[in-house]
Amino acid sequence: MTILKTAAMAATAVLLATATYAAPLKLKPANPQPSGLKPGLAVKYAYPPDVKSINQANRALKKAKAGPALKGLDYRDTRDGDATLTSKRAHYVAAGISGYVKFDAPGTYNIDFLTNDGLDAKVGGQTVGYFDGRQKCFETRAVQVEVPQAGWYPVDITYFQRTGTACLHMRAGKGSPDWMPNAAFGHK
């Protein structure tokens, strides 16, 4: 009987820990809410001799220069040799992306990204997408977030592309994540 009680207590602890871990991340809206935003997202690029991690990308971005704005976060998988995002190169690219994303209604959303290669994505002060390595265009783990009010939320993303093809997409939805339209993004 003692073994059953111990097992039941352990199972309860695991369930409580899982429920606590699974609580939605609460996003913080921009304060004050921006106005007069330009469409898309601001981006700065660095072109290191090689890049295999978020840390290497962040180091390279200390010497980054502004590039043409991104139209949003819907960059489909390229062919090998095609430019990455709006950069000048196909390979060995680090990108620092910033701006805002607009949620039209409060609620609980699921967010994920498709990325090739590395990604550290923050929205409303919370990490909502992360992959530190190299991969083909593949999705990150979906993260559940709480959007407390409709409006603009800050976006801060570090992204890198090493070799081969490149992609970067953001998806969000109250049920299954769906593609975020380019009109949902703005920057100063």
CATH number, domain of 136, equals 2.60.120.1560
Residue 63 within any structural domain of the chain: yes
Residue 131 is assigned to a structural domain of this protein: yes
Whole-angstrom distance, CA of residue 111 vs CA of residue 126: 11
Mean local confidence (pLDDT), 158-187: 96
Tell whether the model's pLDDT for residue 14 goes beyond 80: no
The answer to whether residue 119 is domain-embedded is yes
- Which pLDDT value is given to residue 10? 40
Indicate the SS3 state at residue 85: coil
Q: Which pTM does this prediction carry?
A: 0.88
Answer yes or no: is 11 within a domain.
no
- Tell me which residue range forms the domain holding 77: 24-187
Please state the rounded mean pLDDT for residues 102-126: 98
Q: Tens of pLDDT along 25-37?
A: 999 999 999 999 9
